[in-house]
Amino acid sequence: MHIKNRELLEGEWRVVQEENDLREGEFVLLPLAEWVSNFEGSVVSPNNVGAWISVDFDVSDLKTVPDVLAIYFKEFTDGRGYSLARLIRDRLNFKGDLIAIGDILRDQLWDLERCGFNAFVMRSDQDVNEALNAFNEFDVTYQPVTSSLGSINDSVKSGA
């Protein structure tokens, strides 16, 4: 199971990392270079095949953007993926699915969503059913966020 738009969906995204990894399954995320060589220029890209990039990827190198793009967090303490997501949404006006994969914990979901992620593949030791509660635990933000998604409402609330 994975989370997309604050709902649980059946199926797992298979992340292809090594040359000999299986490239079959219901949902497959290929390294960006492999996705480009297979699907760049296609009229329609399959919605069950996407690409992934790491948090140290330079957004200026992203010439073609698949409809499904994942950012791989090797460690949950690496915040570069948050900034990368924001850049992809705002500078590239990306409207597709942006998936957080790798070392993704329940406590990160609310902030990941604020940065532009709309889908999440949780670490195997995380309860995806319980993780849905993370989206409703906060109702106050200290930094306004503008988003090309249009669905994120981040007005700053004040008790005064």
Residue boundaries of the structural domains of the chain: 2-136
Enter the tokens of residue 16: 């292809």
- The DSSP code sequence of 127-139 is -HHHHGGGGGS--
User: Residues 5, 111: contact at Cβ < 8 Å?
Assistant: no
Give the tens place of pLDDT for each residue, 104-159.
999 999 999 999 999 999 999 999 999 999 988 877 666 666 554 443 333 333 33
What is the value of pTM for the model shown? Answer: 0.83
Q: What is the pLDDT, as a whole number, of residue 19?
A: 72
d(CA 93, CA 19): 31
Determine the CATH number of domain 2-136.
3.20.20.70
User: Helix (H, G, I), strand (E, B), or coil: what is residue 99?
Assistant: strand
What SS3 state is found at 18? coil
Torsion of Cα atoms, 51 then 55 then 56 then 60, to 10° = 60
Q: Is the pLDDT of residue 86 over 70?
A: yes
Distance CA 91, CA 112 (A): 17
pLDDT at 47 over 90: no
- Please report the pLDDT score of residue 26 as a whole number: 78
Structure tokens at 140: 């106050």
